[in-house]
């Protein structure tokens, strides 16, 4: 069996357990060991994955939710194993629950993007790209057939799809045609390469002399995306040769942890001043100046904008349906591997 298959399967198991238990740690697994056993038994058979579709699994083995918990406490009877085979196992769209019924039919499409960037020691933007996902939360009655199209699909460098997406329409005219699973799922992930600028700048300066090193980090908005930039953080690991550090900032808080990780949480960048962090690092005895330099990892979050510029053109139901159907679109960009070298 290919190693990647094993890795992917383990990831899937982790995802499913995470969905079921609302997290994944030793205590949760102990507390729900029966469900974990049952799930594992269902997910793998003789070393080969059997049922991995979350929709089917949830119908077969009920997740431990509050209602069932209360019920089991009251009645003392808890069977979380379904008595019937989920209908989806027999359908052409095994990822979809067979008979979903909703009073309000709605679909929400989120563009969630991560920006990867590398800024070299000279301050040059070496690499900047967006890794995004189209996350869909659908609650639609029956078996809907949706199409989603983009205004500018040509900017996409590469894509990966959920298995519900049909390949043909995408190949011929870049339209996503799919029967969505029920609930939240990742419809596609995409990548946009070679972006030209970043929304914020981070300028670290380290000057060392006589066994100490002065640090000065400035953060500011470079290209205003039009929306507020939230939860900005700057994080770096002090080089091993640093004995102690004293860092202060004019905005936000600075924390230095025992593993030499420094975190500067700025939050929202204020309009009136440029946040900066200054301080001194005391180097090891005998070391005149710093010869290795930390890399600053930057985090931020911008609601309401997709920095890649990708735009959803429209979302349609293929067949006309008797019920009303709400659509919602959102976008979010956050920092991925956004690194500034000093």
Per CB under 8 A, contacts with another protein among 21-50 are 22-25, 27-28, 30-35, 37-38, 41, 45-50
Asked if 121 contacts 341 with a C-beta cutoff of 8 angstroms, the reply is: yes
Decide: is 169 part of the binding site for another protein (CB under 8 A): no
Which residue from 59, 37, 40, 35 is spatially nearest to 50, judged by alpha carbons?
A: 40
Decide: is 5 part of the binding site for another protein (CB under 8 A): yes
Smallest distance, another protein to C-beta of residue 256, A? 16
Which is closer to another protein, CB of 34 or CB of 243? Answer: 34
Please tell me the distance from the alpha carbon of residue 178 to that of residue 334, in angstroms, as a whole number. 27
Which is closer to another protein, CB of 85 or CB of 243? Answer: 85
Q: Using CB under 8 A, which of 99, 158, 246, 313 touches another protein? A: 158
* Choices 7-15, 196-204, 274-282, 308-316; region in contact with another protein by CB under 8 A: 7-15
In the region spanning residues 103 to 132, those forming contacts with another protein, defined by CB under 8 A, are: 112, 114, 116, 118, 120-121, 126-127, 131
In the region spanning residues 228 to 247, those forming contacts with another protein, defined by CB under 8 A, are: 237, 239-241
Smallest distance, another protein to C-beta of residue 325, A? 26
By rule CB under 8 A, what string of x and - marks binding of each residue 280-319 to another protein? ------xxxx-xxxxx-x----------------------
Q: Using CB under 8 A, which of 13, 16, 54, 64 touches another protein? A: 64
Decide: is 137 part of the binding site for another protein (CB under 8 A): no
Other CB atoms within 10 A of residue 76 CB: 7
Q: Which long-range contacts does 162-170 make (Cβ < 8 Å, 24+ apart)?
A: 162/95, 162/186, 162/187, 162/188, 163/95, 164/93, 164/95, 164/96
In the region spanning residues 196 to 215, those forming contacts with another protein, defined by CB under 8 A, are: none
Asked if 247 contacts 279 with a C-beta cutoff of 8 angstroms, the reply is: yes
Smallest distance, another protein to C-beta of residue 229, A? 18
Please tell me the distance from the alpha carbon of residue 83 to that of residue 81, in angstroms, as a whole number. 6
* Choices 76-84, 196-204, 213-221, 320-328; region in contact with another protein by CB under 8 A: 76-84
Other CB atoms within 10 A of residue 46 CB: 5
Please tell me the distance from the alpha carbon of residue 39 to that of residue 61, in angstroms, as a whole number. 7
User: For 45, left (φ over 0), alpha (ψ -120 to 50), or beta?
Assistant: beta
DSSP string over 298-319: EEEEEET--TT---EEEEEESS
Which run of H or of E encompasses 30? helix 26-31
Q: Using CB under 8 A, which of 63, 106, 125, 133 touches another protein? A: 133
Smallest distance, another protein to C-beta of residue 221, A? 23
Other CB atoms within 10 A of residue 134 CB: 24
């Amino acid at each position: 069996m290919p190693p990647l298959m094993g890795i992917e399967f383990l990831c899937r198991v982790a995802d499913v357990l995470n969905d079921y238990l609302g997290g994944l740690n030793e205590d949760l697994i102990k507390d729900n060991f029966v469900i974990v056993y049952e799930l594992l038994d269902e997910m793998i058979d003789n070393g080969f994955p059997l049922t991995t579709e979350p929709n089917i699994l949830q119908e077969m083995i009920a997740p431990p939710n509050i209602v069932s918990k209360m019920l089991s406490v009251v009645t003392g009877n808890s069977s979380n194993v379904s008595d019937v085979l989920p209908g989806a196992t027999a359908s052409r769209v095994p990822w979809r629950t067979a008979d979903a019924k909703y009073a309000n039919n709605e679909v929400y499409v989120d563009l969630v993007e991560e920006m990867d960037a590398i800024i070299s020691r000279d301050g040059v933007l070496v690499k900047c790209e967006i890794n995004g996902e189209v996350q869909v939360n659908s609650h639609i009655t029956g078996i809907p057939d949706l199409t989603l199209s983009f205004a500018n699909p040509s900017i996409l460098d590469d894509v990966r799809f959920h298995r519900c997406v049909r390949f043909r329409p995408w190949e011929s005219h870049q339209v996503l045609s799919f029967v969505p699973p029920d609930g939240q799922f990742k419809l596609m992930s995409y990548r946009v390469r070679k972006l030209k600028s970043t929304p914020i700048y981070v300028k670290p300066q380290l000057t060392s002399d006589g066994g100490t090193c002065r640090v000065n980090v400035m953060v500011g908005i470079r290209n205003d995306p039009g929306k507020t930039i939230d939860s900005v953080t700057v994080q770096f690991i002090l080089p091993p040769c640093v004995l102690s550090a004293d860092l202060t900032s004019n905005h936000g808080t600075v924390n230095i942890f025992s593993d030499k990780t420094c975190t500067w949480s700025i939050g929202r960048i204020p309009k009136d001043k440029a946040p900066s962090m200054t301080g001194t690092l005391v180097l090891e005895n005998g070391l005149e100046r710093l010869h290795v330099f930390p890399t600053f990892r930057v985090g931020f979050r911008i609601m309401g904008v997709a920095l890649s510029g990708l735009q959803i053109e429209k979302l349609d139901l293929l067949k006309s349906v008797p019920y009303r159907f709400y659509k919602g679109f959102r976008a979010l960009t956050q920092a991925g591997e956004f690194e500034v070298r000093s």
